[in-house]
Structure 1
């Protein structure tokens, strides 16, 4: 490929997932993304795409004819509310408590951007959590410190082994990058911009 793929993300999980596609890529610093605003009047399912485009917009002036930028954002929606990253241990316990004994939706928005073309899409996955004891929640939060994770958990960690009863959709999407869909979208995008 004569294009340079760039991942705009701080997430080590996204980096590892993208490596799994056997593509070479660079990483651009996204430290400016700590405060990611979105309009309160947009539908919840549109928020991840909005935020992915917002992240990508910071790099528009760095794009050239050979660069493809990949920006993503993942949210967790439960009972019509977005459950963000926890502020502290107490918040993490409360968020995990809210996920128990019901399903929630993990939505990742993706923006693939070149100098002249932009493509966005989102992938949704339903996750079903069983009831966990307070001791189990305390153990997970104190040991794994899930403060950088939307919904206060990482499905690939201990809590995913003991707490997740079922997943409908992409497991990798729950980790933060729907690699199955992304692979196809990247191939299609490269063909489009190579014409």
Structure 2
């Protein structure tokens, strides 16, 4: 299986996201976590998956020169709504406004993953349509107060309370919405594992 094919490699997850860490653990992979601070600003002309692909590469570029057996996994997720990217909210007001803008509508969640070794880099992305029912202001405030979604693109986690009570349909991978398109990561790791 995958873990045997990767046994000669040292896998480094370049993310502080507990969700990405948990998903990688569920793939039964041995890995360490190492994160370098990166300014996540991106050129304004970039759109949709161009943004997440750019940021995934930027996060990988922050690492020192890799040794032959090291592999870096980077990830990035945005919510795309009304022709603009919603990243992580800076405060409660921003989180409220983001969720209000998603209420009663369908938006896209775009996640990119990067798998980088000393010899090659594979970047893949996935897009999912997510629909919310109309959310009341009280529901939004309750969610922000109790779950504090300030580390999540678009100010929500699909696996949390707001996802359970608010999301009416998903067209695509649940894990892409969580922030890690696991099916794409699996394929990329298999490709990197080939000597």
Please tell me the TM-score bracket, short chain as reference: over 0.9
Given that residues 112 and 181 in structure 2 are in contact (C-alpha distance below 8 angstroms), is that contact kept between their aligned partners in structure 1? no
The partner residue of 2:178 within 165, 170, 175 is 175
Shift of 1:60: 4.0
Aligned: 1:77 with 2:80 = yes
Structure 2: 5+ residue stretches without partners: 1-6
Given that residues 60 and 115 in structure 1 are in contact (C-alpha distance below 8 angstroms), is that contact kept between their aligned partners in structure 2? no
The partner residue of 2:115 within 87, 112, 121 is 112
1:54 match? 58
- Cα RMSD for the two superposed structures: 1.0
The partner residue of 2:40 within 33, 36, 40 is 36
Given that residues 49 and 111 in structure 2 are in contact (C-alpha distance below 8 angstroms), is that contact kept between their aligned partners in structure 1? no
Structure 1 stretches of 4+ with a deviation exceeding 3 A read none
Given that residues 89 and 151 in structure 2 are in contact (C-alpha distance below 8 angstroms), is that contact kept between their aligned partners in structure 1? yes
1:6 match? 12
Shift of 1:82: 0.6
SS of 1:154's partner is: coil
Equivalent-residue separation in structure 2 for 1:60 and 1:166 (angstroms): 42
Equivalent-residue separation in structure 2 for 1:29 and 1:186 (angstroms): 19
2:142 match? 139
Equivalent-residue separation in structure 2 for 1:42 and 1:184 (angstroms): 26
Equivalent-residue separation in structure 1 for 2:25 and 2:53 (angstroms): 22
Structure 1: 5+ residue stretches without partners: none
Shift of 1:84: 1.3
Equivalent-residue separation in structure 2 for 1:187 and 1:116 (angstroms): 14
TM-score normalised over the length of structure 2: 0.94
TM-score normalised over the length of structure 1: 0.94
SS of 2:74's partner is: strand
The partner residue of 1:23 within 20, 29, 39 is 29
Equivalent-residue separation in structure 1 for 2:48 and 2:168 (angstroms): 24
